[in-house]
Amino acid sequence: MTFDRSIKIAPSILSADFANFGAECQAIEAQGADWVHVDVMDGHFVPNITFGPATCAAIRPHIKGVMDVHLMIAPVDPYIEAFAQAGADIITAHMEAGPHIHRTMQAIRAAGAKAGVALNPATPAAAVEYLLDMVDLVCVMTVNPGFGGQKFIHSQVEKVRQLRAMIGERPIHIEIDGGVDPVTAPLVAAAGADVLVAGSAVFRGGSVNDPDPYGANIRAIRAAAQAV
């Protein structure tokens, strides 16, 4: 993976057909997705359950580009190796998922993946200050994690601005997750975000048999973000 700050659209397969992940990943990449965002939930850290490392390993061969794995699980550390083995390019863990996020970031890089840290809406930007030299991505949750289709929390735009200033020239992506659509994308792009996760706003109106709407949705989000 090379680093740049161009706008990247990362569809979340949380909004895909769960019986058809392989074809869905191929469809969104063919329709212009930059990264594929994979939401892992445990029913403990968040009030919803999705899937684990075996599913990530199964979909990996269907993704040509970056597999961006967002772990909404606690604890995290016992599972890092399994997600790295499953082929995750980026593994993101939550600041709030345990007392030793510094160790978790070290463990992700030691496992050979890029390390991401995610911040829930109530967690301040300053929480990542002492991690900035050991992370590749900061994910700003613009909804409370657990479900797709929630409303964007506008207070987080200021957090993105603060993070962008803190990061400076460091090669760290700022990713936005939750409620991203053509209306909210320009707000976070202007504040300094470069990776835009979108679930419902990408998958709405399409299917593996009719994937053109995915492309139109991706282009609409990208165009809105690039217009700022």
Task: Clarify whether 34 is annotated catalytic.
Answer: no
Closer Cβ to ligand DX5, 37 or 173, answer by number: 37
Cβ-closest residue to ligand DX5?
199
Exposure letters 13-39 (e unless 16+ CB within 10 A, then b): bbbbeeeebebbbbbbbebbbbbbbbb
* Nearest Cα residue to 35 out of 190, 174, 195: 195
Residue in 24, 39, 89, 136 binding Zn ion, rule: CB under 5 A: 39
* 4 is an active site residue: no
Which one from 34, 39, 89, 194 is the annotated catalytic residue?
39
Q: Which does 179 bind (CB under 5 to 8 A by kind): ligand DX5, Zn ion, none?
A: ligand DX5
**Single-letter amino acid, residue 94:** H
Contacting positions for ligand DX5 (CB under 6 A) = 12, 14-15, 37, 39, 70, 143, 145-146, 148-150, 177-180, 197-201
Candidates 42-50, 55-63, 172-180, 204-212: pick the segment binding Zn ion (CB under 5 A).
172-180
**Closest CA relative to residue 156, chosen from 134, 116, 184, 130:** 184
Strands 195-198 and 8-11 turn out to be: parallel
Interaction with Zn ion in 59-88: which residues (CB under 5 A)?
A: 70
**From Zn ion, ligand DX5, none, interface partner of 199 (C-beta below 5 to 8 A by class):** ligand DX5
Could you tell me which residues come within 8 angstroms of residue 130 by beta carbon, excluding any fewer than 6 positions away?
Answer: 102
Which residue has the CB atom at the shortest distance from Zn ion? 70
Q: Is the dihedral angle over the CA atoms 219, 188, 119, 105 positive or is it negative?
A: positive
Count of residues of this chain found to bind Zn ion when the rule CB under 5 A is applied: 3
Out of 68, 136, 177, 194, pick the active-site residue: 177
Q: Is 175 in the site for Zn ion (CB under 5 A)?
A: no
Smallest Cα–Cα separation from 37: which of 144, 188, 180, 205? 180
Active site residues: 39, 177
